[in-house]
């Protein structure tokens, strides 16, 4: 536990997808604000790298390899976190999978099922098990990672778009169900974030998928994407953690069921 009085001192944050770029960046911000961390991810090796990168912070950090799509496994891990850490105050429900890029008539059915299983069922599993511990203490703050793909359905992304629409709906329902227990549930919707692997992947796969909306040239696709953003740039991963911290903190105390775009004006 941090010895310095900080906004999130004496709070425990559970972060899923913690070994990925967004998860790790947000875990970094929460630790800097004094929160103890329970980091969950499917990739155990990257999870330990994440722990090492956060070790300069004077907070407790535990790591847990977990498949969020397995409800029984999630329940066991969450119960273990609550027992070991003493409580779970914050949840950044962030684990996800982008899936394939193809027009709906050609989209691979097995990939559609995988995306929905991770992004929707997995998010539900974590939210359900964590909320039960929060209900017992009548306190909790939850942020789900949605996407602008769940606000304006993108071409060639049937599974991802549908899954993120579902995340926003789940957020709104959970906000109502959990409000009587002093638990707030909100979502964030990042748009184009770069540079890095996810940006490059999306640009490349949209070009390969082919549509009237994007060029076949990845460099031209990148320009087209940026031109669709009023601020005329992609966002930085570092522009996400402050929004998450705001939604978990007291400055958003009268906000629940809200989806905040991080989109450059889209």
Q: pLDDT tens digit string along 50-64? A: 999 999 999 999 999
| pLDDT at 2 (0 to 100) | 39
Please state, rounded to an integer, the average pLDDT across all residues of the chain.
96
Mean pLDDT of 188-196: 95
102-112 burial code (b ≥16 CB/10 A, e <16): beeeebeeebb
| pLDDT at 3 (0 to 100) | 44
| pLDDT at 30 (0 to 100) | 98
160 tagged catalytic:
yes
> Whole-prediction pTM value?
0.96
Element (H, E) at 261: strand 259-262
Distance CA 52, CA 54 (A): 5
Strand partners, 188: 145, 260
Structure token digits, residue 266: 């889209």
What is the three-class DSSP state of 209? helix
Mean pLDDT of 250-255: 98
1, pLDDT greater than 80: no
| pLDDT at 261 (0 to 100) | 98
Distance CA 116, CA 136 (A): 29
From the list 97, 107, 160, 234, the catalytic residue is 160
Please give the CATH number for the structural domain made up of 12-193+236-262: 3.40.50.720
By CB neighbour count within 10 A (0-12 exposed, 13-18 middle, 19+ buried), where does 55 fall? exposed
4, pLDDT greater than 90: no
| pLDDT at 210 (0 to 100) | 87
Structure token digits, residue 86: 């003493």
């Amino acid at each position: 536990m941090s010895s310095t009085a900080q906004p999130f001192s004496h709070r425990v944050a559970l972060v899923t997808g913690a070994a990925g770029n967004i998860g790790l960046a947000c875990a970094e911000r929460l630790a800097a604000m004094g929160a103890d961390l329970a980091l969950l991810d499917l990739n155990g090796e990257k999870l330990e790298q994440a722990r090492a990168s956060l070790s300069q912070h004077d907070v407790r950090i535990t790591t847990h390899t977990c498949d969020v799509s397995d409800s029984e496994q999630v329940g066991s891990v969450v119960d273990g976190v609550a027992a070991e850490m003493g409580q779970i105050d914050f949840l950044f429900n962030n684990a996800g999978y982008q899936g394939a890029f193809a027009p709906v008539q050609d989209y691979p059915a097995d990939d559609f099922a995988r995306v929905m299983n991770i992004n929707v069922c997995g998010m539900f599993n974590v939210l359900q098990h964590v909320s039960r511990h929060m209900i017992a203490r009548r306190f909790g703050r939850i942020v789900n990672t949605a996407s602008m793909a769940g606000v304006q359905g993108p071409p060639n992304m049937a599974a991802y778009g549908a899954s993120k629409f579902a995340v926003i709906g789940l957020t709104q329902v959970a906000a109502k169900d959990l409000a009587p227990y002093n638990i707030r549930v909100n979502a964030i919707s990042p748009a184009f974030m770069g540079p890095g692997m996810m940006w490059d992947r999306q640009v490349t796969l949209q070009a390969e998928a082919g549509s009237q909306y994007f060029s076949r040239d990845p460099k031209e696709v990148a320009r087209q994407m940026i031109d669709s953003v009023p601020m005329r740039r992609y966002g930085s991963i570092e522009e996400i953690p402050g929004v998450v911290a705001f939604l978990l903190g007291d400055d958003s105390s009268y906000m629940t069921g809200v989806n905040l775009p991080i989109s450059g004006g889209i």
